Amino acid sequence: MVLYLYNTLTRRKEKFEPLNPPMVGMYVCGPTVYGDPHLGHARPAITFDILYRYLQHLGYKVRYVRNITDVGHLEHDADDGEDKIAKKARLEQVEPMEVAQYYTNRYHKAMEALNVLPPSIEPHASGHIIEQEELVKQILNNGYAYESEGSVYFDVEKYNKDHHYGILSNRNLDDVINASRELDGVGEKRNQVDFALWKKAQPEHIMRWPSPWSDGFPGWHCECTAMGRKYLGEEFDIHGGGMDLVFPHHECEIAQAVASQGKQMVRYWMHNNMLTINGQKMGKSLGNFITLEQFFTGNHEALEQAYAPMVIRFFILQAHYRSTVDFSNEALQSAQKGLERLLDGIANIERIKVSPETDAATAEMVRTLKEKCYDAMNDDLNTQIVISLLFDACRTINSLCDGKGTIADADLAELRDTMTTFAFDILGLRAKSGNDGQSESREEAFGKAVDMLLELRAKAKVDKDWATSDRIRDALASFGFEVKDTKDGATWKLGI
Ligand code: ZN
């Protein structure tokens, strides 16, 4: 089985061959922690969660590093403006690290809700100032940077004479210079296109560290080069992030790596495409900025209802990671229906009655399903195709439940294995909880607690204690449980 991944650097799909199998080193740019996590955080996290899960499924031992940017990311993504975290701290009158911690916690909570696995290492930029200063020193020693007024800048023109600046974003230096012409004067820089490796802190700037050049802070691009190298080595396999990071962030990372160690650090560069809301880019000024928590609770005027984290995850996975995704209430509602159909289909496997033999059409479906799912994943993680294959299989499952067609024990086991492996282990979807025999129990203790409440309710009904019985029913409904009375008692289900 061969995995092909699209490499942004070579602009084609390439066979994935790790440098030191079975080890795989993977670095993904994490969040700048100064605001609530939103959709823009969900897509790269989910995209690279799929890659992380799939590589592990294939037997690789993956060291997955995803950083937390808590210093040096200035407002204009370039070299000026206030530090994003320091600004928030100033406005809220708290310590910058309180801001970083608060939003890091919020980010973790949202990622857990989306069933995004935590990385192996989550380094903070502010905890790696020494490594970043070391990087700056190497680049200075190699002659690709210069000091100016206590700051250090990368000398893009000099670098471009020896190497190609723009190799990742497929542009040449003239394009970059033309694109940046409108900005104001060069100030301390020799050239507008030069970027900061170290910035001298202004007196009012609170996040500052001593260095040979000034009391200051590292440029934003330094952290990923320094921390990637520290934890994954001078050369490692995969570096990922959103497409918006290709330029300047990842372009600068490549330049820093080559300027400091004479060779590139990363073998495969991977980027997920962006998402829009109702066809527009998400932005605070457009009034369509929706946080993940607002999606989960429905608490935003643009939302017609709450959307469960699994609906968001499923919706993102319905598109290939290199295509754009457009969020709308309509699209999310149809994703919700699709997810219900898929999870119910998988749960229905348990209702199929086994026959001595499998009919020809079912046998063919079971035989090819797994292979087709692997083919789709191996073709640059095509989750869109995997989901459509799982839907096809659900149609067969539902027919088998209705007594149309037959399936033998071994084929049923194979079908169950394929469906759960791809839906739960690889796509990372979560089954619904419940005791209605149609869905797997995810948290037994949780289920037992609900069962006990229903027993108390049944007892209250026998005792004609209607107040208690209604109270339990209403409370469960308000928590999102669907309770159904049957002749043998009651069943419950928690909506997704
Ligand atoms: Zn980065």
Q: What is the CATH number of the domain that holds 109?
A: 3.40.50.620
Amino acid present at 296: F
Per-residue CA distances from 369 to 66, 355, 419, 421 (Å): 33, 20, 9, 12
Segment 198-219 mean pLDDT: 93
Q: Among residues 392, 426, 460, which one ends one of the domains?
A: 426
Is 437 domain-assigned? no
Cα–ligand 1 centroid distance for 32 (angstroms): 10
Cα–Cα nearest to 256, from 235, 218, 228, 225: 225
Residues 293 and 229 in one domain: no
Q: How far apart are the first and last CA of the chain?
A: 35
Q: pLDDT at position 431, please?
A: 85
Cα–ligand 1 centroid distance for 251 (angstroms): 10
Cα–ligand 1 centroid distance for 64 (angstroms): 14
Q: In this predicted model, what pLDDT tens digit does every residue of 348-393 receive, in sequence order?
A: 999 999 999 999 999 999 999 999 999 999 999 999 999 999 999 9
Cα–ligand 1 centroid distance for 124 (angstroms): 11
Cα–ligand 1 centroid distance for 483 (angstroms): 47
Residues 63 and 138 in one domain: yes
Tokens of 294: 């607002």
Cα–ligand 1 centroid distance for 238 (angstroms): 13
Cα–ligand 1 centroid distance for 356 (angstroms): 56
Is 304 domain-assigned? yes
Task: Report d(CA 34, CA 284) in Å as an integer.
Answer: 14
- In the block, tokens 């592990």 appear at 56
Banded pLDDT at 444 (limits 50, 70, 90): low
* Residues in CB range of 380: below 8 A, 6 or more apart: 4, 5, 6, 13, 320, 322
Q: SS3 sequence, 315-362?
A: HHHCCCCCCCEEECHHHHHHHHHHHHHHHHHHHHHHHCCCCCCCCHHH
Q: Among residues 272, 299, 334, which one ends one of the domains?
A: 272
Q: What is the CATH number of the domain that holds 412?
A: 1.10.730
Is 166 domain-assigned? yes
Residues 66 and 181 in one domain: yes
Is 433 domain-assigned? no
Q: pLDDT at position 160, please?
A: 97
Cα–ligand 1 centroid distance for 379 (angstroms): 26
Q: In this predicted model, what pLDDT tens digit does every residue of 322-356 receive, in sequence order?
A: 999 999 999 999 999 999 999 999 999 999 999 99
- Rounded to the nearest integer, the mean pLDDT of the chain is 92
Is 431 domain-assigned? no
Is 154 domain-assigned? yes
Q: Which domain holds residue 482?
A: 444-494
432: pLDDT strictly greater than 80: no
Q: Among residues 272, 291, 306, which one ends one of the domains?
A: 272
Is 436 domain-assigned? no
Per-residue CA distances from 428 to 1, 51, 322, 383, 419 (Å): 21, 11, 19, 11, 12
Is residue 87 within 8 A of residue 97, CB to CB? The reply is no
Q: In this predicted model, what pLDDT tens digit does every residue of 5-44 receive, in sequence order?
A: 999 999 999 999 999 999 999 999 999 998 899 999 999 9
- Number of domains the chain contains: 3
Cα–ligand 1 centroid distance for 221 (angstroms): 6
Cα–ligand 1 centroid distance for 426 (angstroms): 25
Cα–Cα nearest to 397, from 350, 345, 438, 355: 345
Cα–ligand 1 centroid distance for 16 (angstroms): 22
Residues 226 and 306 in one domain: no
- In the block, tokens 């403006």 appear at 81
Per-residue CA distances from 392 to 83, 165, 191 (Å): 50, 47, 57
Cα–ligand 1 centroid distance for 195 (angstroms): 15
Cα–ligand 1 centroid distance for 457 (angstroms): 54
Cα–ligand 1 centroid distance for 194 (angstroms): 18
Residues 490 and 398 in one domain: no
437: pLDDT strictly greater than 50: no
Task: Report d(CA 442, CA 465) in Å as an integer.
Answer: 32
Q: What percentage of the chain exceeds 90 in pLDDT?
A: 74
Cα–ligand 1 centroid distance for 122 (angstroms): 12
Residues 248 and 300 in one domain: no
E strand or H helix at 482: strand 481-486
Cα–ligand 1 centroid distance for 228 (angstroms): 9
Q: In this predicted model, what pLDDT tens digit does every residue of 274-319 receive, in sequence order?
A: 999 988 888 777 778 899 999 999 999 999 999 999 999 999 999 9
Cα–ligand 1 centroid distance for 373 (angstroms): 32
Cα–ligand 1 centroid distance for 441 (angstroms): 39
Per-residue CA distances from 232 to 120, 226, 265, 414 (Å): 11, 10, 9, 38
Cα–ligand 1 centroid distance for 266 (angstroms): 13
Cα–ligand 1 centroid distance for 443 (angstroms): 36
Is 438 domain-assigned? no
Cα–ligand 1 centroid distance for 268 (angstroms): 15
Is residue 363 within 8 A of residue 411, CB to CB? The reply is yes
